[in-house]
Amino acid sequence: MGLRKNRPAEGAPVARRTMLTMLGAGAVALATAPWLQEGWEKALGAASQKDPTGLTGVLPNPGGFRYYSVVGSVPRKDETDYALRIDGLVDRPTTYTLEDLRALRQTRIVHDVLCTDGWRVENTPFEGVRLSDLLEAAGVRPEGRALRFTCFDGVYTESLTLAQARRSDMLVALRMQDEPITHEHGGPVRLYAAPMYFYKSAKWLSGISVTDKVVPGYWEEYGYDIDGWLDGEDRDGDGPAA
């Protein structure tokens, strides 16, 4: 897993740099923790839930992924209480349960995952409902231009233009690595914006609102590129054919 210089042109947000300078203290606390035997991945996920700074996100993880959350704790949701609300500039605002989403056409995409912090996980399968299918069902009004994504962590947000959202490689994902998405990875439902840096893939997805202009998301307010394209993606295309 080679490191690449792959930050968006806009540069790193100041907040991330500040976190990196604090890494020392966080790493020591984790390295001495007794629950290491349980498995590094699980421990990192648990630790990140208690770590409001996001420090655990920069610790190494043999599985390749690192866990990010901008808040200290996120409620767990499952089929009994999960809901995805689609509203804004649409003719038919809709609320989907997990069961509703599972009943829709599922699309599987295998793509490399890249974070702007320099890690990548190759050939990662994600599966779920195409955003374009949900938008078609909701009926986007002519004045709709963009989407705003909200999360049940209560803080994180993301955005896509309508043209980006309608690509075939933009998913409301229910599965990752051919398993239901775990809580740590943003389950039961997260966004998966395959052709873009992983910060675009909002975890713990709870709302999609059609807006008349792009509203910058959480990291975008700190300087991240609003269009998070990965190198080599066809930015003007509709995404890969089915």
Ligand X SMILES: Nc1nc2c(c(=O)[nH]1)N[C@H]1C(S)=C(S)[C@@H](COP(=O)(O)O)O[C@H]1N2
Please give the C-alpha separations between residue 80 and each of 41, 77, 100, 172, 232, in angstroms, as whole numbers: 26, 8, 12, 19, 41
Choice between 144 and 157, CB closer to ligand X = 157
Stretch that binds ligand X, among 18-26, 68-76, 100-108, 122-130 (CB under 6 A): 68-76
User: What string marks each residue from 158 to 197 as x (binds ligand X by CB under 6 A) or -?
Assistant: ---------------------------xx-----------
Which residues, listed in sequence order, are joined to residue 193 by a DSSP beta bridge?
170
Q: Which of 70, 101, 160, 208 binds ligand X (CB under 6 A)?
A: 70
d(CA 230, CA 122): 13
Which residues lie near Mo ion (CB under 5 A)? 115, 198-199
Q: Which of 69, 107, 124, 132 binds ligand X (CB under 6 A)?
A: 69
Min dist CB 97 to ligand X, Å, is: 20
Choice between 57 and 144, CB closer to ligand X = 57
Q: Which of 132, 156, 220, 239 binds ligand X (CB under 6 A)?
A: 156
Q: Is 153 an interacting residue with respect to ligand X (CB under 6 A)? A: yes
Q: Is 201 an interacting residue with respect to ligand X (CB under 6 A)? A: yes
Positions in the binding site for ligand X (CB under 6 A): 65-70, 115, 151, 153, 156, 185-186, 198-199, 201-204
